[in-house]
Amino acid sequence: MTFRDRLHYNSDAGTYHDGDMRYIFIKPEAFMGVALEMPEELRPAIFEAMARTVMLNGGKSAEAYKNRGARDPDALLAVIRETAGQLGWGKWHIETGSDRLTVTVKDSPFAAGYGASDRPVCGPIKGMLAAVSGMIFDAPTVVEEVTCAAMGANHCTFVASVAPGDRP
């Protein structure tokens, strides 16, 4: 069952849920506008805060997907890839290696919502990949956004690898 099939709208409450997880719809420019409203020197900290909170809270969603049957790495990555698109997080392509994931995202809503930048801005994707890659490798990981559409690239590219000193 896909995310969209599981999503339930309660018109009396004005809420969307996937099981006990609540979701909202928000325009990317409204969400990313929070960072744009802050002084330039604070924006890197905002992107890192986005990554940390999505790692924690998005990680709970990934754990729920895993518990619903996506136990092996390929199954979990398939659910994440499908759900990301259905949430409007762009089209994800995931390549796996023994200790690294490379994820290409076309049409990142975060890059589109932020606009032109001299630094990567897709903290939420970075955070989700930190949570998921930690589950895949059963070890702490480091995630880097190596290309960003906000910086003029055709797509955003992320590399998640097992943290130094934590290699299996």
Q: Is the pLDDT of residue 165 over 90?
A: no
Q: Is the pLDDT of residue 79 over 80?
A: yes
CA atoms within 13 A on the CB side of 70: 22
Taking the C-alpha atoms of residue 4 and residue 158, their distance in angstroms, rounded to an integer, is 25
Give the DSSP H/E element, type plus range, for residue 145: strand 141-147
Is residue 51 within 8 Å of residue 142, measured between CB atoms?
Answer: no
- Give the angle 24-152-82 at the CA atoms, nearest 5°: 40
For 81-133, what is each residue's pLDDT tens digit? 999 999 999 999 999 998 899 999 999 999 999 999 999 999 999 999 999 99
Residue 131: CB atoms within 10 A of its CB come to 24
Is residue 88 within 8 Å of residue 112, measured between CB atoms?
Answer: no
Rounded to the nearest integer, the mean pLDDT of the chain is 94
